[in-house]
């Protein structure tokens, strides 16, 4: 048994729909493949979940994001290039938020791994399933389309207390 305590990787993701299309990012995976994902990323130390998703959407799409509700909280385990080292599985705890974005800020550079942003229909997203970075991409969109809505107050606004 390892002396180190197991912890999942906490991530945030945005489900952004406009006119029946969803905003996705096309990014270069660690193994060089081009994959699709919701705008998403890791929670940074000292940051609230809402601050994290707003930051990640800006970094990956150059758009200001306004969360309106929580879609869901998800656990996923991965292997291979998605896991990073190809050997040890990694568990992700994803908080998915829905909301709206403004137009992209042309002066804001996208994260290095991001190739471009795309607005895709559900049918186009399904047709690209082999390129999904995570099975959570389709799951979060399906839950959003099914009307899953939780108040933003369901997640704490920030860090309370100390260690």
100: in domain = yes
155: in domain = no
How deeply is 102 buried, as exposed, middle or buried, from its count of CB atoms within 10 A (0-12, 13-18, 19+)? Answer: exposed
Residue 79 has pLDDT above 90, yes or no: no
Structural domain boundaries, residue 121? 10-150
Residue 158: what pLDDT? 61
Residue 101 — φ and ψ, nearest 5°?
Answer: -125, 155
156: in domain = no
22: in domain = yes
60: in domain = yes
Distance separating alpha carbons of residues 132 and 142, to the nearest angstrom? 14
Instruction: Give me the CATH number covering residue 41.
Output: 3.90.79.10
113: in domain = yes
For residues 56, 57, 60, 62, the Cα torsion angle rounded to the nearest 10 degrees is -130
Residue 20: what pLDDT? 97
Least confident of 58-67, 93-102, 152-161: 152-161
Q: What's the domain count of the chain?
A: 1
Residue 137 — φ and ψ, nearest 5°?
Answer: -55, -55
160: in domain = no
130: in domain = yes
* Average pLDDT score over the chain: 90
């Amino acid at each position: 048994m390892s002396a180190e305590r197991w912890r999942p990787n906490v991530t945030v993701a945005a489900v952004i729909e406009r006119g029946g299309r969803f905003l996705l990012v096309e990014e270069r995976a660690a193994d060089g493949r081009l994959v699709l994902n919701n705008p998403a990323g890791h929670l940074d130390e000292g940051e609230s979940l809402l601050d994290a998703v707003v930051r990640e959407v800006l970094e990956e799409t150059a758009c200001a994001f306004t969360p309106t509700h929580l879609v869901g909280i998800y656990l996923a385990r991965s292997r291979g290039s998605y896991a990073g080292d190809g050997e040890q599985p990694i568990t992700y705890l994803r908080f998915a938020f829905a909301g709206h974005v403004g137009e992209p800020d042309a002066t804001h550079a996208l994260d290095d791994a991001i190739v471009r942003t795309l607005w895709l229909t559900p049918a186009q997203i399904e047709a690209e399933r082999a390129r999904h970075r995570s099975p959570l991409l389709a799951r979060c969109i399906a839950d959003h389309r099914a009307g899953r809505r939780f108040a933003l107050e369901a997640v704490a606004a920030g860090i309370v207390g100390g260690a």
